Amino acid sequence: MVGLEFDTREAELECFDDLEYYVIERGVCTGCGTCAGICPRIGFENDRPVMQDEYDPHCNSCTQFCPQFYVPFSRMEEMIFGAVRNDRYLGYVDRVVSARANSDAIRGVSQDGGVTTTLTKYLLESGAVEGVIMAGVSESEPLKPVPIVATTGDDVVSAAGSRYSICPVVMGLREAFEKGIKKIAIVGTPCQVQGIRKVELFSEDRYPFEIKAVIGIFCFENFLYDEFFKSFIEKELGIELGEINSVRIRNNSFELHKNGEIESIPLKTAFKHVNIPCTLCRDFSAELSDISIGAIGAKTDWNAVIIRSERGRRLFDELVEKNLVTLASDAVDLERIKRLARRKKAHVERTSAETTEFLTHFGTAEDKVKIYELLIALHGPRLETISEATEMDDSVIRDALESLKERSWIRETMDKTTNTPRYIPEKPETVINNEVKKLNSKLKIAKKKAISELNSSYTRRIQEKIEMQG
């Protein structure tokens, strides 16, 4: 992109400024670490990205790969699986099985059945990859996950177990790059999987590594380490974090296990400290991974495993052939997994319906409001993309875009690379504040007119009555 000319306004609308405005300040950054993984100028503080340097406003990689900007799911599914989703709630599914590790040592340290640790250890020890990007454990802060690049089986085993707080896992890309590691696998939550897949599919060989396997873990929600673990659990409840060996979510409780004892926090209480962007997340099962691994739907200490892609299927079959994992004889309770995945999607759909309804109060038809919302999600798309995403007639879209332009909800700009127009949404606060102002002044005029009309008719009626009585 270097060498292209941008006007000042466009430069302001590209790169980290946009990430800051649309994602970080709006409170929708999940802390996945993708932006910091692909840009050495971005660091991480308090679970959120920060610009540490002068930046290149023409680069735009962080907004391109951030999964909180558009994730074109159908297109990515076609690219990864050769077909779009065959399950509305779980994405593209080839096979679902229940399995667990055969190694006692792995089962002894892992969260559920140890399939994740077994799989990543195998990838490294078989030479299929040189490094696995994953969440390890902080050396200084108990129970805090930190991004690591595991290069040996022992590294992977020491990272076993779930740590329920935000970790910018994808940031590990930078360490892998600095160490010259070329063949990479990654283990991540669904948001992290979306970020790494965008890099894998859309970076056009910009980076000198190859992503060989994407392992997703189920995730319903996550927490902020400082707020939940430090302030609430340690300070408010007085539980020493350093004494806790593992954390489990079960029986509607957040269980803290320490040397045979269990401290339970009701999930309702824990949810008060949830990472807010997680309440907007729609992906439970890491729909874009090669293999997704979780616990729900399987027996205690076993894993539910969703095998999705061709490379995922090959990899899992190798684990079975090499006797590294055992398949359970009973089937996975697929309905339980789907129920949870459905709950996650339904919640967001409800929020979106409320917002859409609110915007129609300004007298804009629902289809136009939906196009405005889409422009925000797609971050200034071209007509072709809008048409693909909405499946509406181009003439209907053009009318809607004209009317949104007239109302100053959007503006048109020329994409200098492709020489085609892009439609940029104006900032939601500006749009809403302008509409509220317009509505208020319309209401004021209408109120004045209505009061004077009704008053004159009211006094006329009273006068007529007096005259009739007289």
Residue 117, classed as helix, strand or coil, is: helix
Q: Which does residue 162 bind out of ligand FAD, ligand SF4, none, counting CB within 5 to 8 angstroms by kind? A: ligand FAD
Q: Which does residue 190 bind out of ligand FAD, ligand SF4, none, counting CB within 5 to 8 angstroms by kind? A: ligand SF4
Q: Which does residue 187 bind out of ligand FAD, ligand SF4, none, counting CB within 5 to 8 angstroms by kind? A: ligand FAD
Tell me phi and psi for residue 203, to 5 degrees: -90, 0
Q: What is the DSSP string of 83-114?
A: S--SBTTTBS-SEEEEEEES-HHHHHHSSSS-
Instruction: State in angstroms the smallest separation of the CB of 42 from ligand SF4.
Output: 7
Alpha helices in 227-382, H assignment, sequence order: 267-270, 310-321, 334-360, 366-378
- Measured from the CB atom, the residue of 297 and 380 that comes closer to ligand FAD is 297
Distance CA 153, CA 155 (A): 5
CA 430 to chain centre: 25
Contact flag: residue 312 with ligand SF4 (CB under 6 A): no
Contact flag: residue 34 with ligand SF4 (CB under 6 A): yes
What CA–CA distances, in Å, run from 459 to 446, 454, 455, 468?
20, 9, 6, 14
| Residue window 167-186: x/- pattern of binding to ligand SF4, with contact defined by CB under 6 A | -x------------------
Q: What is the DSSP string of 25-47?
A: TTT------HHHHH-TTEEEETT
Q: Scan residues 62-91 and list those touching ligand SF4 (CB under 6 A).
A: 66-68
| Residue window 188-227: x/- pattern of binding to ligand FAD, with contact defined by CB under 6 A | xx---------------------------xxxx-x-----
Contact flag: residue 294 with ligand SF4 (CB under 6 A): no
| Residue window 87-116: x/- pattern of binding to ligand FAD, with contact defined by CB under 6 A | -----------------------xxxxxxx
Distance CA 167, CA 150 (A): 15
Q: Which residues pair with 242 in a beta bridge?
A: none
Nearest to 203 by CA among 381, 56, 413, 39: 39
Distance CA 3, CA 129 (A): 36
- Measured from the CB atom, the residue of 168 and 172 that comes closer to ligand SF4 is 168
Are the beta carbons of 29 and 36 closer than 8 angstroms? no
Contact flag: residue 278 with ligand SF4 (CB under 6 A): yes
Contact flag: residue 111 with ligand SF4 (CB under 6 A): no
- Measured from the CB atom, the residue of 135 and 265 that comes closer to ligand FAD is 135
Contact flag: residue 213 with ligand SF4 (CB under 6 A): no
Give 331: exposed, middle or buried? Use CB within 10 Å, 0-12, 13-18, 19+: exposed
Among 136, 147, 195, 381, binds ligand SF4 (CB under 6 A): 195
Q: Which residues bind ligand SF4 (CB under 6 A)?
A: 19, 23-24, 29-35, 49, 66-68, 168, 189-191, 195, 219, 221-222, 275, 277-278, 281
Q: Which residues bind ligand FAD (CB under 6 A)?
A: 110-117, 134-135, 145, 159-165, 167, 169, 187-189, 217-220, 222, 293-296, 303
